[in-house]
């Protein structure tokens, strides 16, 4: 009973944190852009959820957050939800294969997820909106966004670790062998 209540409270805190991140992204980072490009805090956030809370919560919250972003921003509904859901899945896959204790590993995870998210969104927009494929301009924007996300990650890394371990204690079960064979 206490474990379920703790999970519910954690999910509520994650949702409230998303709205705070949305406020910071839409208000604060519009003033601090690099070449007109903002960081994508949602990629970092959903990856953190996928890494530390698990695949199910990463997918569900990634899709919900992405649909909310699409509705509020007014883009095509669904692409951000699908891509953030994929980032949540990637978080769980990376958790099984890599250590979360290294700052460099977390930074590489965030750089790769940023690239996957942005490439997926760009290809979807090129296909559905029949846009011209401008690879050089896209690569420039992608690299700046990756660098910006990495700078943010370096700054908030201690917070990511602390919140991540709290999520891991709440959502992941520890499998301990009690006897030796």
Asked whether residue 156 is assigned to any structural domain, the reply reads yes
Q: How far apart are CA 99 and CA 76, in angstroms?
A: 36
Report pLDDT for 82: 93
Asked whether residue 179 is assigned to any structural domain, the reply reads no
Domain range for 103: 2-171
Report pLDDT for 173: 73
Asked whether residue 151 is assigned to any structural domain, the reply reads yes
Q: How far apart are CA 81 and CA 88, in angstroms?
A: 10
CATH number at residue 68: 1.10.1760
Asked whether residue 116 is assigned to any structural domain, the reply reads yes
Please state the domain count of the chain. 1
Segments in the chain below pLDDT 50:
none
Question: pLDDT digits over 43-65, tens only?
Answer: 999 999 999 998 889 999 999 99
Asked whether residue 178 is assigned to any structural domain, the reply reads no
Q: How far apart are CA 145 and CA 107, in angstroms?
A: 13
For the chain, the three-class secondary structure string (H helix, E strand, C coil) is: CHHHHHHHHHHHHHHHHHHHHHHHHHHHCCCCCECCECCCHHHHHHHHHHHHHCHHHHHHHHHHHHHHHHHHHCCCCCHHHHHHHHHHHHHHHHHHHCCCCCHHHHHHHHHHHHHHHHHHHHHHHHHHHCCCCCHHHHHHHHHHHHHHHHHHHHHHHHHHHHHHHHHHHHHCCCCCCCCCC
Please, which residues have CB within 8 angstroms of residue 95's CB and are 6 or more apart in sequence?
Answer: 50, 51, 52
Q: From 3, 110, 123, select the one nearest 50 (Cα to Cα).
A: 110
Asked whether residue 19 is assigned to any structural domain, the reply reads yes
Asked whether residue 181 is assigned to any structural domain, the reply reads no
Report pLDDT for 128: 87
Report pLDDT for 9: 94
Asked whether residue 78 is assigned to any structural domain, the reply reads yes
């Amino acid at each position: 009973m206490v474990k379920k209540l703790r999970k519910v409270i954690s999910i509520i805190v994650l949702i409230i944190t998303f709205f705070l991140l949305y406020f910071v992204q839409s208000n604060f980072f519009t003033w601090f852009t690099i070449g007109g490009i903002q960081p994508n805090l949602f990629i970092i956030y959903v990856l953190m959820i996928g890494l530390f809370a698990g695949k199910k919560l990463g997918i569900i919250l990634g899709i919900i957050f992405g649909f909310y972003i699409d509705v509020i921003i007014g883009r095509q509904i669904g692409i951000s939800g699908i891509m953030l859901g994929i980032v949540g899945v990637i978080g769980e896959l990376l958790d099984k294969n890599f250590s979360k204790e290294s700052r460099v590993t977390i930074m590489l995870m965030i750089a790769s997820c940023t690239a996957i998210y942005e490439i997926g969104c760009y290809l979807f927009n090129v296909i559905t909106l029949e846009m011209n494929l401008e690879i050089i301009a896209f690569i420039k924007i992608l690299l700046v966004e990756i660098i910006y996300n990495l700078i943010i990650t370096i700054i908030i890394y201690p917070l990511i670790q602390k919140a991540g371990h709290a999520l891991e204690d709440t959502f992941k079960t520890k499998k301990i062998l009690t006897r030796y064979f």
